[in-house]
Amino acid sequence: MADFTNLDRKSLMAPPITAAIQMRSLIIGAIGAVICLVGLFMPGGAEHLLRSWLVAFMFWLGLSLGCMGLLMLTYMVGGWWGFIPRRIFLAAGQNVFLMAIFFLPILIFSKALYEWMTPEFLNGLSDSERHLWKFSSYLTTPRFVIASIIYFAVWMGMVYLLARWAAERNSSPGNDRQWRLKFQKLSAPGLILYCLTMTFASFDWVMSLDPHWYSTIYGMIFLSAQALSALSFTAAICILLSKYEPMAWFFKKDIMHDIGKLMLAFTMFWAYVSFSQFLIIWAGNLPEEINWFLTRLDHGWQFVAIAIILFHFVMPFSLLLSKDVKKNRFGLTVTALLIMFMRYVDLYWYIKPNFHGGGNFKFAWLDIAAVATIGGFWMAAFLWNLRKRPLFPVNDPLMDTALEHLGDKQFQHQH
pLDDT at 3 exceeding the cut of 60: no
Indicate the range of 1-10, 122-131, 292-301, 360-369 predicted with least confidence: 1-10
Task: Please give the pLDDT value at position 2.
Answer: 39
Residue 171 has what pLDDT? 76
Give the Cα separation of 396 and 389 in Å (integer): 14
Q: Which residues contact 170 (CB under 8 A, 6 or more apart)?
A: 9, 389, 390, 393, 394, 395
User: Alpha-carbon distance 262 to 140, whole Å?
Assistant: 39
Query: Residue range 306-317: average pLDDT?
Result: 97
pLDDT band at 9 (very low <50, low <70, confident <90, very high): low
Query: Quick one: what percent of the chain has pLDDT higher than 70?
Result: 92
Q: What counts of helices (H) and strands (E) characterise the chain?
A: 22, 0
Q: Is residue 143 predicted with pLDDT exceeding 90? A: yes
Please tell me the predicted confidence (pLDDT) of residue 132: 85
Q: Using the predicted structure, report yes or no on whether residue 144 has a pLDDT greater than 60.
A: yes
Per mean pLDDT, which range of 74-88, 164-178, 324-338, 366-380 is the poorest?
Answer: 164-178
Residue 6 scores a pLDDT above 80 = no
pTM of the model: 0.92
Q: What is the mean pLDDT of residues 152-156?
A: 98
Asked whether the predicted pLDDT for residue 183 surpasses 60, the reply is yes
**Dihedral, 236, 238, 243, 244 alpha carbons, nearest 10:** 140
Cβ 355 vs Cβ 244: under 8 Å: no
Q: How many CA atoms lie within 13 A of 401 on its CB side?
A: 9
Confidence of residue 173 (pLDDT cuts 50, 70, 90): low
How does residue 404 score in pLDDT terms, banded at 50, 70 and 90? low
Closest to 327 in 3D by CA, of 264, 391, 396, 283: 264
pLDDT band at 368 (very low <50, low <70, confident <90, very high): very high
- pLDDT digits 0-9 by tens, 226-239: 999 999 999 999 99
Overall average pLDDT of the 304-324 stretch: 96
Q: DSSP letters along 207-264, please? A: GGGSTT---TTHHHHHHHHHHHHHHHHHHHHHHHHTTSTTHHHH--HHHHHHHHHHHH
The arithmetic mean of pLDDT across residues 17-36, rounded, is: 96
Checking if the pLDDT of 414 tops 60, the result is no
Instruction: Yes or no: say if 255 and 82 are a contact pair by the CB < 8 Å rule.
Output: no
412, pLDDT greater than 50: no
Mean per-residue pLDDT, 29-35: 96
The amino acid sitting at 152 is F
pLDDT of residue 110: 94
- DSSP letters for 26-49: HHHHHHHHHHHHHHHTSTTHHHHH
**Residue 381 clears pLDDT 90, i.e. is over it:** yes
pLDDT tens digits for range 328-342:
999 999 999 999 999
Percent of the chain with pLDDT over 90: 65
pLDDT band at 112 (very low <50, low <70, confident <90, very high): very high
Q: Which residues contact 391 (CB under 8 A, 6 or more apart)?
A: 12, 13, 14, 87, 241, 246, 247
Task: Specify the higher pLDDT residue, 378 or 167.
Answer: 378
| Segment among 44-48, 112-116, 196-200, 351-355 with least mean pLDDT | 44-48
* Domain boundary assignment for the chain: 37-121+135-410
Q: Over 90: is that where the pLDDT of 364 sits?
A: no
